[in-house]
A and B are shown apart, each in its own frame.
Chain A
Amino acid sequence: MTTASSAILEAQPILVNATRFRKAHEAEWERLEYLVSRIEKRSVAALSDDDLLVLPLLYRSALSSLSVARETSLDRALITYLEQLCTRAYFQIYGVPTSALRQIARFFAKSWPEAVQAIWRETLVAFLLTVAGAVVAYLLVRSDPTWFFGIIPQGLSDGRDPSASAESLRATLYGASHKDDGLAVFATYLFTHNAQIAIFAFALGFAFTVPTILLILYNGLMLGAFVAVFVPKGLGWNLGGWLMIHGTTEIFAIILSGAAGFRIGMAIAFPGRLSRGDSAIAAGRSAATAMAGAVVMLIVAGLLEGIGRQTVTDDWSRYGIGLTMLVGWLVYFYMPRKA
């Protein structure tokens, strides 16, 4: 092993910083890695109390090891290892969402009403748009019934058009002519359909709210067109009950998801004092919560439609249930809360 220019001296270990450093801290790093792997594989619940207490300490010590290693050591394997270890530990300590149950409880107790309160202006606008659409469609169809077919797609009218007789229209309101077995399926279909519309209304807000406005307006148009079919046959009051029982919840939900879309579009178009990106994030997170809430409302509406409307055929009870739901939602959303 002896050569001319690289002579061999007596064994005198060159201790580079990495070696010293590894010797001093390797046990801590290994312990941290073991704990983090256990959390990643299972959950925080897999750790004992002692482990939980020591986790933040190990994390901080690994972080400081990383800082020192970056400044004093040239061992790349060591730095890479510490970087990934610290990153994994960071996400387990700071970045992990709270447990599902806690998140759900928080959603109902706080996040949802707060998110809805935050978009009250947009909600008002969406409501007015729906009303405007309904009034326009009502006037159009009353003046010229062929407008009805321009507004309502073929599949949705299901025989409820201006040419139908008063009897058949009345029958659709009280479920007599419908085959009873198909209705629950239809209600489910309507729920998934409406929920999808709600999500679209939210997402489309990204295009500076224009598509969402159209969607909400069209929703109002359909409402008005149907009303215009029933009213001239003297069924206005009855249609009101039929609509109210689930409609107060369903239409409210669609209005809220539209408002969530408006909020995003407005936040991007007019960010105010924030930067455009920050404004989009702030609006996006809270509007998404309101949108998720709208989907929950649509589930309730689906139940009211599928079960409630089939069992309750009395107009007064239908109005009662519908109004109770409306008041319930309003109180739940807008009731002043302690900060």
Chain B
Amino acid sequence: MRWPTRKKKQSGPASLRRNFVTPEGVDLKLELGGAGTRAAAFMLDAVIIFVVLIIVTIVIVTLFVASRQSDALAILWLIGFFVLRNGWFTLFEMGGRGATPGKRVMGLRVVARDGARLTGGAVIARNAMREIEVFLPLSFLGAQAAEGTADAFLTIFALCWSGIFLFFPLFNRDRLRVGDLIAGTWVVRTVTGSLGHDLVAGKESARRTFSDAALSLYGVYELQTLEDVLRGGRDDAIATVAWTIRNKAGIADDGDDFGFLSDYYAALCARLERGLMLGKRREDKFAASRG
């Protein structure tokens, strides 16, 4: 891949869908995690780390009060802090799920951009960069503030530094962090879902038929919108859509909006699919109708 530079792009909303061709040659069209989701996942992880740190500290202090084993407990705390800070992201992402708890909650996972196995080296590289993205400016600022020597210049510098890295994902198409850039990874959404029921099958009663003119009104886009309306099952939406279609096709109202729409869907779908077989895909209602 090229270094992300800003290029004049063709108009249209930037999509987060990326082509991702498997070795079998099928494009899976992965969806990247959005910047907001990524930020939320990170905040979640940060909060969890913070809470764990507080709990561990409390436990260790309690143990210290009880046992007076100051050395062992201090060592335990130091090591624990180190592992928490450097290991949290790395260890979780090296596991089978490729995601920290925060990412899992937000439905994200880290994958290698080339589709290969996610290696330990890549995960370590991606998370070591966090040090300069987040922890360095923070600890820098924290240390200086503690000594009371944080002047305006230093504060501004630390803010700019973190700003560059913090907003880095917003400045490139693939929402890559600096760490992702170095490690060759990206963060994708993990979508799970069950198969929606078949809208066409399983109808015992007779179906309505529609005239050719009524069926040539719409294309694939409208068909799939109709599918969403039918699966959504909201009465007002169904009534509105049914009214619109009847109005346009000049069909009288028969009082059964849902039945009407289901039949219209089935008929339109069958007609458009026949078109597909002949190599004619009518994208939407504005595309020329096949005669």
Contact = CB atoms under 8 A, between A and B. Distances in A.
A254 to B, nearest CB: 15
Contact of A276 (B3, B97, B129, B249): B3
A189 interface: yes
A14 B109 CA distance: 41
Interface residues of A, number: 93
A140 B234 CA distance: 81
A11 B205 contact: yes
B75 A285 contact: no
Which of A74, A78, A292 has the largest number of chain B CB atoms within 10 A? A74
Interface string B171-201: 0000000100111100000111111101111
Interface in A2-18: 2-18
B98 to A, nearest CB: 7
B269 interface: yes
Nearest to A99: B96
B271 to A, nearest CB: 9
Given A77-B227, A288-B125, A72 B183 contact: no
A19 B208 contact: no
A204 interface: yes
B144 interface: no
B124 A291 contact: yes
Contacts of B182: 206, 264, 280-281, 283-284, 288
B32 to A, nearest CB: 13
Nearest to B29: A83
Contacts of B94: 97, 100, 103
A80 interface: yes
Interface in B197-242: 198-201, 203-211, 214, 220, 223-224, 227-228, 231
A284 B97 contact: no
Contact of B124 (A29, A278, A289): A289
Contacts of B199: 75
B266 A87 contact: no
Contact of A189 (B23, B78, B260): B78
A111 B120 CA distance: 10
Given A11-B205, A19-B201, A6 B184 contact: no
Nearest to A282: B184
Contacts of B136: 200, 203
B272 interface: yes
Interface in B233-272: 249-254, 256, 259-260, 263, 266-267, 269-270, 272
Contact of A95 (B26, B71, B112): B112
A60 interface: yes
Interface in B111-151: 111-112, 115-122, 124-125, 128-129, 131-132, 136
A8 B267 CA distance: 13
Nearest to A275: B2
Given A10-B206, A95-B112, A188 B119 contact: no
B118 A9 contact: no
Given A97-B118, A200-B132, A275-B2, A285 B26 contact: no
A77 B82 contact: no
A156 interface: no
A105 to B, nearest CB: 12
Closest 7 CB pairs of A and B: A77-B196, A288-B125, A284-B182, A281-B184, A285-B121, A6-B208, A288-B124
20 contacts: A6-B208, A13-B201, A19-B198, A39-B96, A74-B272, A75-B198, A78-B196, A81-B194, A84-B192, A87-B28, A91-B98, A95-B118, A103-B94, A200-B131, A202-B128, A203-B129, A264-B182, A275-B1, A281-B182, A284-B122
